[in-house]
Amino acid sequence: MSHPLTRVLTLLELLQSNAGLTGSELADRLDTDVRTVRRYVAHLRDLGIPVEAERGRYGGYRLARGYRMPPLVLTNDEALAVVLGLLAAERLGMGTTVLAGAGARAKIERVLPQALREPLAAMRETLYFTANAVSAQAPGSGVLLALAQASRAKTTVGIAYLSWRLDQTERDIDPYGVVFHTGRWYLVGHDHLRDDLRTFRIDRIASITPRPQTFATPDGFDPVAHLTATLAQGPYRWQVEVTIHGPLDEIARRLPHTAVTLTAQPVGVLMQARAERLDGMAHLLASLEWPFTIHSPDELRQALKDLAGQLAAAAERQPGTLLR
């Protein structure tokens, strides 16, 4: 620690990051003595920063409750991490609203020094993504934060929920976890109204009411696994069963785990899935390098024949041929 000003700023950072530290602890971290720590605390108070001291054996120093330091002081790496996080959240549809993300980014960039602001602006303007932007269903910030707090504290909440049929219901939920998946936020938990595990779109939750009851999450429960299994069993037109004659691990890496269920068998891997259109399933199967056997539905065989005909015609088509 080379300069008193550096130590004073480090002291401020320590107080911001910790609820309370004793004079001895601060002295150790600053590589100085307790008397000097008291002098540094006096410097911070002279600057208008409210540092509180608690006397006694377990006393220490802390910033006054509710005090917020303006403006942000970020290193280059920290500022880049924040800006990239905001850009990624916007691309994934993970933000609560577009305006909130843009506003947060603008405020952060506004308080940064010019030497750091310009490179970050260049990064924002020249960053490209290979994945398409996700059209998000934004939940209310208050609802999302209340569910996260209730899930961590394991307290029951009452929700006002609007179903896809536009039916309004009031129900109590034990929130096991909040999951973000392909542009949507979901709540997974025990529904007291149905006495069963249920999944809810958070953007359809109008309000949250705390309840005094607490709950225990089932041992080993995985909200992500439950959500993906639930979505894979959605109300689709076709139930597809196909044996793929290949190794389970490699097949699993090639197929979307949210859309299919894979079961190892002696002759290969049984793939079970639901599909609204069989032509899409035909394209998916044709993209695999392993042979496969169709169990159901028989209509999938015709979809594959149609795809094979299209590919054969494309292979024979000569340049300049007019498409009809």
**197-236, pLDDT tens digit by residue?**
999 989 889 899 999 999 999 999 999 988 887 776 666 6
Task: Give the Cα separation of 51 and 145 in Å (integer).
Answer: 30
Average pLDDT, the chain: 83
Whether residue 271 has pLDDT greater than 70: yes
Binning the chain into helix, strand and coil, the percentages to the nearest 5 are: 45, 25, 30
Phi-psi region of 123 (alpha: psi -120 to 50; beta: other; left: phi over 0): alpha
What's the confidence (pLDDT) of residue 176?
Answer: 96
Task: Give the Cα separation of 146 and 273 in Å (integer).
Answer: 35
**74-118, pLDDT tens digit by residue?**
677 887 888 888 888 777 777 666 566 677 777 777 767 777 778
Residue 2: band (very low, low, confident or very high) from pLDDT cuts 50, 70, 90: very low
Alpha helices in 98-236 (DSSP H): 98-111, 114-126, 141-153, 223-232
DSSP state of 203: G
What's the confidence (pLDDT) of residue 137?
Answer: 65
